[in-house]
Structure 1
Amino acid sequence: MTATASPTPTAVPRGQAHTTAHGPVTVARSYRFEVVKLLSQWRIRLLLLACWIAPALFVAGVSAQSTLPTDTLFGRWMHATGWAGPLVTLGFAGTWALPLLTSVVAGDVFASEDRLGTWRHLLVAVRSPRRIFAAKALAGLTVILLLVAGLAVSSTAGGLVTVGNHPLAGLDGHPLAPGDAAGTVLLAWACVLAPTLALAGIGLLGSVVLGRSPMGLLLPAVVAPAMQLAQMLPLPVAVRLALPGGAFLTWDGLFTSPAQLAPLLIGIVVSLLWAVTATALACVLFLRRDFTNPTDDGSSRHAVVTAALPLAGLLGVTVAVVAATTTATGSGIEQAKVQHALATEFAHLYRTQTAQLRRPAVTEGQLKTAAACTKAGVRDGAHGAGNDWRCVVSWHLPGVAATGSAVYQLDITPDGRFVADGDGPKEVNGYFLVRTSTGDAPNPLWQFDGNVDLLAASPDSPDSPTP
């Protein structure tokens, strides 16, 4: 009798057995793994905790102070309504917080594997660089969305709990009911997702191209301040709107009636183009990488040039398209536009002041408000940003023969935002407290923020008194 020997089972590597038994690792499974890996990092957990707690504490603390950040858009309304808090946070986030957050997340999602030397292990497990890129990009996007959601929700909760759900004044003075304010604030936060995605795409590209270099991690944090600096320069409006960070500023157009949508929509489209282009370049360069060479971390001169040239070309194309498809020329800040914006906002705020002082109600049509503005002594054809605008606003009251007038000094920034500072008469636009349903508040006609629509057609200059 002969014994039949059973075949000895062959040991199969763990990753290979997993692949053979269950098929290739899908993008969904890789995505879950990458999300867990990101959330296990202490700095990501710290950022999530900060984004979901710190804005509420900041808004609550500032709203309880006697001095408000009046140099920030909607900062002067933080005592009046809880909806001003998330807008102040949004202005700060677009300038500083979101670029730093995208740097930490997207700028490190690929470079971390280079530093740890784990690409071979990841490729053995997943067996597809394309799926690895998709999983890492989606995981980074998920974490960034969680961070942005935390900033929005936390700052809103802090404002509503501390101040309350009260109406908000728009940038043209028209009142927004609490429900309308809530929807507009939510829409403003949603709009800045587009430039955030553009920075995230730039972060992914830097993480792929620069490898272990710390510049890959810092690239979004370097690009964003450069764009902010460009927005402060007296650039033509076409160049300003063609920059990928434009939507970080143009969301304020949602708070006028009618809404100034053209600059915002252009900013969103440009930002999405940058996001798609940068991410596609990162994917192409990642797939071309030689993972069999342990010294190849992607940081070659050829890769840097390949990444930079298409983005420079995209900037040139967007500038040309915006210049060809919009009617605005130069800075977009023109005398007739400034006069129209100031007169409209004064009329709305005058009605607010009338209601607060319990005077007989009056409509904008009855007021027939007009404004006449000069800039540094230029009476006709004044244009451009600056703090040397001087305006005289005139209006008429029903049954009163005399024409009322008030003087304002305007400081207009290159992006069209302005601060109007009342310069008399004191009874109209001077500083005094008015008793409101939410407590004592400064005279609404004393100082207020406004916005000039850079892309609007210049209205005919209204007949107004010469200052």
Structure 2
Amino acid sequence: MTATTTAPLPAARPVALLRGYRFELVKLFAAWRIRLLILACWLAPAVFVAAVSRQSSLPVDTLFGRWMNASGWAGPLVMLGFAGSYALPLLTSVVAGDVFAAEDRLGTWRHLLVAVRSARRIFAAKALASLTVIVVLVAGMAVSSTVGGLVAVGSRPLVGFDGHLLAPGDAAGQVVLAWVCVLAPTLALAGVGLLGSVLGGRSPLGLLLPAVVALAMALAQLLPLPVAVRLALPSYAFVSWNGLFTEPRQLGPLLIGVGVGLAWAVLATALAYVLFLRRDFTNPAHDGLGRRAFTVGALPPVALFAVTAAVIAASGPALGSGIDQDKVQRSVATAFAHLYRLQTAQLNRPDVTEARLGATAACTKGDGLVAAEGPGNDWRCVVSWHLPGVEATGSAVYQLDVTSDGRYVADGDGPKEVNGYFQVRTPDGDQPNPLWQFDANVELLTTTKG
């Protein structure tokens, strides 16, 4: 009798990450809802911006909305404001919030594990594929809205958020940078979607969680919160990108917002990864990771929020609203000086530098009966300036509506020939008097230089 020996079979090697990534990407792009989203993001913004830019009634309550028929670069910024509030949270919910739950509903986890042979590579492939789709959707909105604005209006100079004029090349660079910056809070919501998809199993938790978190943070931004709390929210970069369009640029709040958004993205994705590796894939009736997993998933983001707020509060004066009399006066005077020069050029008057104009503002709140600080629609500012060669000092009155995030709308209240409503004839068509109404903002942190 001859003894035979059987050689051990070689261990099965996991599928390469690149192959798994391509497989997950094909699955995502094959879904009808993803195809519909891509089509909408690459076509609808262009149609919307082009149509609105041709109207006489503009969305003046939206950032840069009042400039949509004056510069093609205002369109993508209007779309960016809309996307940060509504579109991007919904996109992350549909893409990242369902990437794991779909396998639970279809019962395909065991087949996928047999094919790939590595839970770690499955998670990495799904996370990277969802990130790719989200970037494609965001890029589509940015490119489409830019094309719509440039085709409808043209590449003209853009009036910045404090009234200074940006050349078309500078405006283009700032628009691109603004869209890049909002990727940070978008990735934070995507990480929250991945976490919800892992935790929820077959339930629609992953689909709902990013939208609910985004809605809660948007409502929080409307409240008179301390600056440290406001900046610690991962959605703040959806608001602070307007600091790119001031002179000097207000980079402090924007950099903090981007950093907080990226920190949330990393933390939420890491939590999703750890919890995904701990789940039992042998149970076909799996329907979520239970209450303990929800607690584990919720505590680290809350701790990160608390630590971030404490660090921001300790690093500077960030416990109040960040809106005070000096900041409002400085902001109104700066914006008025910039727009006065724009009006002077439109009316073909001799140019005057802002230094020689010497614009100042005296602002009160509530007719001086309350402390001149914090948001409200009861701010009143009297702007004074002096033209060279003229003995009299000019003055104009503005009523301000200041929101909790520092943005305000200044409404001219006379004299009519200075800041009243009238049409100014320009080479690009009739435009409203630029000193009639204007948008600007108060930097909530201590003034930073770009």
Output the TM-score relative to the length of structure 1. Answer: 0.93
In the other structure, the counterpart of 1:228 is 218
What do the CA deviations read for 1:362-403 (whole angstroms, capped 9, x no partner)?
A: 011111100000000227851000110000000000010100
Bigger drift between 174-183 and 301-310 goes to 301-310
In the other structure, the counterpart of 2:291 is 301
Any residues of structure 2 matched to 1:374-389 within 5 Å, and which?
374-378=364-368, 381-389=371-379
The CA distance in 1 between the partners of 2:380 and 2:197, in whole Å, is 49
In the other structure, the counterpart of 1:434 is 424
Contact 2:203 2:287 in 1 (8 A): no
2:393 pairs with 1:403:
yes
In the other structure, the counterpart of 1:42 is 32
2:347 pairs with 1:357:
yes
Deviation at 1:456, TM superposition (A): 2.0
Deviation at 1:298, TM superposition (A): 3.0
- AA aligned to 2:236 is G
In the other structure, the counterpart of 1:26 is 16
The match for 1:206 among 148, 172, 196 is: 196
2:81 pairs with 1:91:
yes
In the other structure, the counterpart of 2:63 is 73
Deviation at 1:311, TM superposition (A): 1.0
Deviation at 1:296, TM superposition (A): 2.1
In the other structure, the counterpart of 1:249 is 239
The CA distance in 2 between the partners of 1:131 and 1:234, in whole Å, is 44
The CA distance in 2 between the partners of 1:91 and 1:413, in whole Å, is 15
The match for 2:311 among 321, 327, 337 is: 321
In the other structure, the counterpart of 2:6 is none
The match for 1:373 among 343, 349, 363 is: 363
2:333 pairs with 1:343:
yes
Q: Which has the larger radius of gyration?
A: 1
Contact 2:333 2:383 in 1 (8 A): yes
Contact 1:327 1:457 in 2 (8 A): no
The CA distance in 2 between the partners of 1:77 and 1:299, in whole Å, is 50
What do the CA deviations read for 1:13-43 (whole angstroms, capped 9, x no partner)?
A: xxx99x96xx431111000000000000000
Any residues of structure 2 matched to 1:138-153 within 5 Å, and which?
138-153=128-143
The CA distance in 2 between the partners of 1:194 and 1:326, in whole Å, is 24
The match for 2:117 among 122, 127, 134 is: 127
In the other structure, the counterpart of 2:150 is 160
Bigger drift between 297-306 and 415-424 goes to 297-306
The CA distance in 1 between the partners of 2:446 and 2:246, in whole Å, is 13
In the other structure, the counterpart of 1:59 is 49
What do the CA deviations read for 1:121-172 (whole angstroms, capped 9, x no partner)?
A: 0000000000000000000000000000000000000000000000001111
In the other structure, the counterpart of 2:402 is 412
Contact 1:82 1:163 in 2 (8 A): yes
Distance 1:356 1:379, change over 3 A: farther
The CA distance in 1 between the partners of 2:414 and 2:334, in whole Å, is 19
The match for 1:238 among 214, 225, 228 is: 228
In the other structure, the counterpart of 1:196 is 186
Contact 1:373 1:379 in 2 (8 A): no
The CA distance in 2 between the partners of 1:160 and 1:326, in whole Å, is 42
What do the CA deviations read for 1:28-66 (whole angstroms, capped 9, x no partner)?
A: 100000000000000000000000000000001101111
- AA aligned to 2:395 is S
In the other structure, the counterpart of 1:7 is none
SS state at 2:430 partner: strand
What do the CA deviations read for 1:330-375 (whole angstroms, capped 9, x no partner)?
A: 0000000000000001001000100110111101111110000000
What do the CA deviations read for 1:295-342 (whole angstroms, capped 9, x no partner)?
A: 223331111111011111111111111111133330000000000000
Output the TM-score relative to the length of structure 2. Answer: 0.96
Contact 1:57 1:158 in 2 (8 A): yes
The CA distance in 2 between the partners of 1:24 and 1:292, in whole Å, is 19
- AA aligned to 1:355 is A
Bigger drift between 339-348 and 320-329 goes to 320-329
- AA aligned to 2:314 is A
The CA distance in 1 between the partners of 2:394 and 2:16, in whole Å, is 72
The match for 1:170 among 160, 168, 171 is: 160
The CA distance in 2 between the partners of 1:437 and 1:183, in whole Å, is 25
Contact 2:47 2:148 in 1 (8 A): yes
In the other structure, the counterpart of 1:464 is none
- AA aligned to 1:414 is S
Q: Percent identity?
A: 73
Contact 1:328 1:457 in 2 (8 A): no
What do the CA deviations read for 1:274-301 (whole angstroms, capped 9, x no partner)?
A: 0000000000000000111112233311
What do the CA deviations read for 1:57-94 (whole angstroms, capped 9, x no partner)?
A: 00011011110000001000001000000000000000
SS state at 2:362 partner: strand
SS state at 1:103 partner: helix
SS state at 1:377 partner: helix
Contact 2:164 2:247 in 1 (8 A): yes
In the other structure, the counterpart of 2:302 is 312
The number of residues matched between the two structures is: 440
2:280 pairs with 1:290:
yes
Deviation at 1:215, TM superposition (A): 2.1
Deviation at 1:216, TM superposition (A): 1.9
Any residues of structure 2 matched to 1:261-272 within 5 Å, and which?
261-272=251-262
The CA distance in 1 between the partners of 2:321 and 2:387, in whole Å, is 36
